[in-house]
């Protein structure tokens, strides 16, 4: 029998931006295979996470995905849905709202973020009381003058890959200390699971390093520095196979009357980022275009070259958005189109 460390991860009840919580369960197993079938539900004190009252505080953790924990011997990362004591989904459980049981929808999320210096509260590369050189040389840069935080980023990439996440790439972004990674999954729930687990690994990695991760979409306020998004690349069988410009336009236009519905769940403080500047569309407008990074939705040029077979990119979700909510809302808009 071996001792197995199971790190149960869930989202709390803070609104509108939820936080990750986790705790470790140690179990004895013989020939543990790392499957959901081998582990069970657990409970936690919901009164401490804004998910229950003190008089009836138990909430249930229902495992929905499990990955090897590359930082622990015999360790596993367990992503959970939060359930009420009667087994129904808790109101904070956005994963349960995703209507994609056949995994027809595929998502590729581009997660941007800033690495912050704990002592200064500023992004890496920012001097105390001032600014580094203006934007221009940081994007995909190489060398110590403009590149800050690569060691942490590389270590995070290795952890994600070792955990079995479908990690697709990294790059430094437009601002100093700003980075991005990409994850892709066939199935909206799986895509959301992997973003949350990857965020968990990134946040945990900063512990004890004098750094923290900032997911605020505009941490530098009203300045001439880019904000951070979580661009949502999505497709279904129609987008992947239709070969029709008209169908792509029809799907893009389906988003136009639903701007408020989408923006309402695309992340807190997103109005500070979606200004029409710094590669964004205005939060008050809706637009789409081929290869247009200033549009609400971008049709990638490779999709056009492939005869309108591929995917679309919704550029509006912010870096602190919940991928479960983003995916659920996109599916609700696109799925009725045949």
What is the C-alpha to C-alpha distance for residues 262 and 10, in angstroms, rounded to an integer?
Answer: 24
Q: Which is nearest to 79 in space by CA: 89, 68, 87?
A: 68
Residue 137 and residue 48 share a domain: no
Q: How confident is the model at residue 303 (pLDDT cuts 50, 70, 90)?
A: very high
**Could you say which of 62, 90, 118 is where a domain stops?**
90
What pLDDT, on the 0 to 100 scale, is given for residue 329? 98
Mean pLDDT across the chain, nearest whole number? Answer: 97
Domain harbouring 32, CATH code: 3.10.20.70
Any alpha helices (H) in the chain, and if so which ranges?
150-162, 188-205, 237-241, 245-254, 259-263, 301-305, 323-334
> Per this entry, what is the length of the chain?
338
What pLDDT, on the 0 to 100 scale, is given for residue 145? 95
Residue 196 and residue 83 share a domain: no
Say yes or no to pLDDT of 222 above 90.
no
Residue 201 domain flag: yes
Inter-residue contact 228 to 178 (CB < 8 Å): yes
pLDDT over 90 for what percent of the chain?
95
Residue 198 and residue 71 share a domain: no
pLDDT per position as a tens digit, 139-194: 999 999 999 999 999 999 999 999 999 999 999 999 999 999 999 999 999 999 99
Four-point Cα dihedral 170, 275, 225, 269, nearest 10: -70
Residue 287 and residue 260 share a domain: yes
What pLDDT, on the 0 to 100 scale, is given for residue 178? 98
What is the C-alpha to C-alpha distance for residues 182 and 165, in angstroms, rounded to an integer?
Answer: 11
Residue 189 and residue 311 share a domain: yes
Residue 165 and residue 42 share a domain: no
**Could you say which of 90, 119, 146 is where a domain stops?**
90
Residue 222 and residue 81 share a domain: no
Domain count, the chain: 2
Print burial letters for 199-212: b (CB count within 10 Å at least 16), e (below 16).
bbbbbbbbeeeebe
Residue 97 domain flag: no
pLDDT per position as a tens digit, 233-286: 999 999 999 999 999 999 999 999 999 999 999 999 999 999 999 889 999 999
**240 SS3 class:** helix
Residue 96 domain flag: no
Residue 194 and residue 48 share a domain: no
Supply the range of the domain harboring residue 56.
2-90
Residue 68 and residue 147 share a domain: no
Residue 172 and residue 314 share a domain: yes
Domain harbouring 111, CATH code: 3.30.590.10
Residue 244 and residue 203 share a domain: yes
Phi-psi region of 87 (alpha: psi -120 to 50; beta: other; left: phi over 0): left
Say yes or no to pLDDT of 92 above 90.
yes
Residue 312 and residue 287 share a domain: yes
Say yes or no to pLDDT of 213 above 90.
yes
Say yes or no to pLDDT of 314 above 90.
yes
């Amino acid at each position: 029998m071996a001792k197995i460390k199971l790190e149960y991860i869930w989202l709390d009840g803070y609104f509108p931006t939820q936080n990750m919580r986790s705790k470790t369960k140690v179990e004895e197993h013989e020939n543990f295979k790392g499957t959901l079938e081998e582990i069970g539900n657990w409970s936690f004190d919901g009164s401490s996470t804004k998910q229950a009252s003190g008089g009836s505080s138990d909430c249930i953790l229902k495992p929905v995905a499990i990955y090897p924990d590359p930082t622990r011997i015999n360790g596993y990362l367990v992503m959970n849905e939060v359930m009420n004591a009667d087994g129904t989904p808790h109101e904070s459980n956005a994963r349960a709202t995703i209507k994609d049981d056949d995994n027809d929808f595929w998502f590729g999320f581009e997660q941007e973020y800033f690495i912050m210096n704990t002592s200064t509260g500023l992004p890496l590369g920012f001097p105390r009381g001032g600014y580094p050189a203006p934007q221009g040389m940081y994007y995909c840069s190489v060398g110590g003058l403009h590149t800050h935080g690569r060691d942490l980023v590389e270590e995070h990439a290795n952890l994600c890959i070792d955990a079995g996440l479908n990690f697709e790439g990294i790059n430094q972004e437009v601002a100093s200390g700003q980075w991005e990674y990409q994850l892709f999954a066939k199935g909206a729930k799986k895509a959301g699971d992997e973003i949350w687990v990857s965020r968990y690994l990134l946040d945990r990695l900063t512990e004890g390093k004098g750094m923290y991760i900032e997911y605020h979409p505009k941490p530098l306020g009203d300045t001439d520095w880019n904000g951070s998004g979580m661009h949502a690349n999505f497709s279904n069988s129609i987008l992947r196979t239709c070969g029709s410009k008209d169908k792509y336009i029809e799907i893009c236009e389906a988003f136009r009357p639903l701007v408020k519905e989408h923006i309402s769940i695309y992340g807190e403080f997103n109005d500070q980022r979606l200004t029409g500047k710094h590669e964004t569309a205005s939060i008050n407008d809706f637009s789409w275009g081929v290869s247009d990074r200033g549009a609400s939705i971008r049709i990638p040029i490779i999709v056009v070259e492939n005869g309108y077979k591929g995917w679309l990119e919704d550029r509006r979700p912010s870096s602190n958005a919940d991928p479960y909510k983003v995916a659920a809302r996109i599916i609700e808009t696109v799925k009725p189109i045949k």
